[in-house]
Amino acid sequence: MLNFIDPDVSSSEKATDSIEMRIKPSVKSGIVRAAELMGVPLTSFVRASAMRDAERVLRDHQTTVLSARAQRALLAALDSPPPPTQAALEAADRYRARIANAG
């Protein structure tokens, strides 16, 4: 059996939610066969596979990868930001006035 970690088994959180879906028989047979090859129950295989992909998607959306050139450009921009625009200065004044009048 290959290395397999079922996220529900390794967590103390009680499993109370469920997901139901309809799939083609050919898709199910492929998933069942893969679970059998791993030597794990179908539910555990589907749960672990879905969680692994969900974690990858979440990680990909939380991480920005920059090339070396883009990193240098970002650091240079942070080191010497442009002066605030007139609109930004006016917005800051409105914000300070609103905060001063709120209390």
11 found inside a domain? no
In sequence order, what are the residues at sequence separation of 6 or more whose Cβ sits closer than 8 angstroms to the Cβ of residue 81? none
5 found inside a domain? no
Lowest mean pLDDT, pick from 5-9, 18-22, 86-90: 5-9
Please count the structural domains in the chain. 1
State which residues form the domain around 66: 25-102
CA distance 6 to 31: 16
90 found inside a domain? yes
Condensed to tens digits (0 to 9), the pLDDT of residues 56-68 reads 999 999 999 999 9
Condensed to tens digits (0 to 9), the pLDDT of residues 13-56 reads 888 999 999 999 999 999 999 999 999 999 999 999 999 999 99
1 found inside a domain? no
Contact between 32 and 42 under an 8 Å Cβ cutoff? The reply is yes
Amino acid at 12: S
43 found inside a domain? yes
Tracing tokens 């300070």 back to the chain, one arrives at 96
17 found inside a domain? no
Q: Taking the model in full, what pTM does it have? A: 0.58
19 found inside a domain? no
Contact between 46 and 31 under an 8 Å Cβ cutoff? The reply is yes
66 found inside a domain? yes
Output DSSP code: residue 84: P
Phi-psi region of 13 (alpha: psi -120 to 50; beta: other; left: phi over 0): beta
